[in-house]
Chain A
């Protein structure tokens, strides 16, 4: 069955440090890939998406993600984390052109001052 795995439940980084959140998917073809962020009590906000083409995609708030077909991964990165980045991050895939988004379990990011 298709699945999305975010292996890290929590990650803590210091403000100003770099960040990488992992995402792996299980699917034969290349799906559409997304990263969303959810602040407490809020809905999900789209950070970035990958459909095709350049495997390094830029998003909002200084985030980027790289699609690696050989590893079935779509990891999210940010070179310098700000305290306001503390939130929960969800990786999602859209399979079979069905328009259904399948979400990972999320990674909660904590930022140390």
Chain B
């Protein structure tokens, strides 16, 4: 298996633009997570899905953030409109039933 695949690896966008981050989880994993990593706040869980259904989105910072999982092999995290404070590395992870999470390489987002 290729592991968790995220795209793009790097994204630079202007403030106010829409940004879409993509994730392909490991086949057979029932859980998918979106994390954000910053120097100030460390690793924060934004949202997670179980069998494509959002379970807990309490970490989503604002209504500007939304996430979808239309099928078991694809998820998106969208920021609209983007702001400079959204600059961070965004990780997608998928996990086994026992909670062991496997992470993608991340998307480094810079909003200027």
Contact = CB atoms under 8 A, between A and B. Distances in A.
Contact of A45 (B33, B45, B103): B103
Given A32-B99, A46-B102, A51-B98, A99 B91 contact: no
Contact-residue bracket for chain A: 20 to 34
Contacts of B20: none
Interface string A81-113: 000000000100010011111111110000000
Interface residues of B, number: 21
Nearest to A94: B99
Contacts, number: 47
Contacts of A43: 4, 91, 103-106
Contacts of B102: 46
Tell me whether chain A's interface is mostly helix, strand or loop, or mixed. Answer: strand
Given A90-B43, A101-B45, A49 B105 contact: no
A49 B102 CA distance: 12
B103 A100 contact: no
Contacts of A51: 98
A42 interface: yes
A100 B105 contact: no
Nearest to B100: A49
A67 to B, nearest CB: 16
A44 interface: yes
Given A42-B106, A46-B102, 4 more contacts: A43-B104, A51-B98, A102-B45, A103-B43
The 7 closest A-B pairs by CB, nearest first: A43-B103, A94-B99, A103-B43, A44-B103, A43-B105, A99-B99, A105-B42
